[in-house]
Amino acid sequence: MDFPFLYETFLTLIAALPLTLQLAATAIAFGAILALGLALCRISGILPLDWFARLYIFIFRGSPLLVQIFLIYYGLGQFREVRHSMFWFILRDPYWCAVIALMLNTAAYAAEIIRGGLLSVPHGQVEAARSCGMSPFMVFRRITLPLAVRQALPAYSNEMISMVKATSLASIITIMEVTGVAAKLISETFRAIEVFVVAGFIYLAINFVLTRLVAFVEYRLSPHMRQPAPLSAATVAGEIR
């Protein structure tokens, strides 16, 4: 193993890490909002909304992300009408095309995950909240959503991990994120194995941190699963008095 080369490769690739993280974070954040909307449409009971969400999820979950990126970037750019529209300043930029494609794609998967979470909230909890006099919105905000998030989190962490890895597809529309820079390095050095090993390690490291973060959030969201903290001498003394 040529360690100086690996180290040099690592330094070059790590410079592209902010772009990869930015792509993943923007796509996941926007995607989550869109997904919540879609999930609410699905369980709304309003037929047109339900069918719109079903169709959306069917299309974006059923076709490859690679094809979606190509269609949004190269496909839309071919139409004169699109090039002269007010959206062109966004669609002209490969970065935003990638964000849009990743966001639309992740929203389809996340919508189903969130819907699963929402449906898993026990009916009794909602009834209890209502009987306390909470408005429907307050029930959703205080009871349904937090419980749904807790239920959906393990499945949703899968989706976040796939999104981090999916950012590598952005390299095909000329974005120089970690994989794009790796491909450039290979074209300069012809040393595919070393470069891809380092690139793979970087994605592994990102996802390691990401899974730890999710585990931490999961821990914070499920105090009911843990042994109650032992009472300290001070509180015990306080209770006796």
Partner 1 sequence: MNNRMILAAVAAALVAAAAPAAQAKDWTHVKVGIEGAFPPWNALDPQGNLTGLDVDLIKDLCTRAKVECDLQAGEWSAMIPSLNAGKFDLIMTLGINEKRKQVVDFTVPYASGVASFIVEKDGPLAKMPMTGEKLDLNDKEKADPVMKSIGEMLSGKAVGVVQSTSHEQLITAYFGKDVTLRTYKNSGERDLDLKAGRIDAGFDSGVYGATLPSKPGNEDLTIVGPQLKGAMLATEVAIGMRKGETELKEKLDAAIKSAAADGVIKTLSVKWSKLDLTPTF
| Using rule CB under 8 A, residue 186 touches partner 1 | yes
Distance CA 177, CA 171 (A): 6
* Least separation in angstroms between CB 151 and partner 1: 42
Number of shown-chain residues binding partner 1 (CB under 8 A):
16
- Are 86 and 80 a contacting pair, CB within 8 Å? no
Among 123, 137, 190, 240, binds partner 1 (CB under 8 A): 190
Q: Does 174 bind partner 1 (CB under 8 A)?
A: yes
Residue 116 binds partner 1 (CB under 8 A): no
Helices then strands, each counted (H, E), the chain:
14, 0
Taking CB under 8 A as the criterion, the residue among 45, 48, 62, 78 binding partner 1 is 78
CA distance 94 to 63: 20
Stretch that binds partner 1, among 41-49, 53-61, 125-133, 179-187 (CB under 8 A): 179-187
Least Å from the CB of residue 77 to partner 1: 4
200 binds partner 1 (CB under 8 A): no
- Is residue 94 within the footprint of partner 1 (CB under 8 A)? yes
**Quick one: 154 or 200, whose CB is closer to partner 1?**
200
List, as one string, the DSSP characters of 113-135.
Answer: HHHHHHHTS-HHHHHHHHHTT--
The reply to whether 183 sits near partner 1 by the rule CB under 8 A is yes
Amino acid (one-letter) located at 179: T
DSSP letters for 141-209: IIIIHHHHHHHHHHHHHHHHHHHHHHGGGGGGGT--SHHHHHHHHHHHH--HHHHHHHHHHHHHHHHHH
Report the alpha-carbon distance of residue 170 to residue 137 in Å, rounded.
Answer: 39
Reading the block at residue 115, the tokens are 């819907």
Nearer to partner 1, 139 or 169 (CB): 169
Residue 8 found at the interface with partner 1 (CB under 8 A)? no
Q: Does 184 bind partner 1 (CB under 8 A)?
A: yes
Q: Which spans of this chain sit near partner 1 (rule: CB under 8 A)?
A: 74, 77-78, 83, 92, 94, 172, 174, 180, 183-184, 186-188, 190, 192
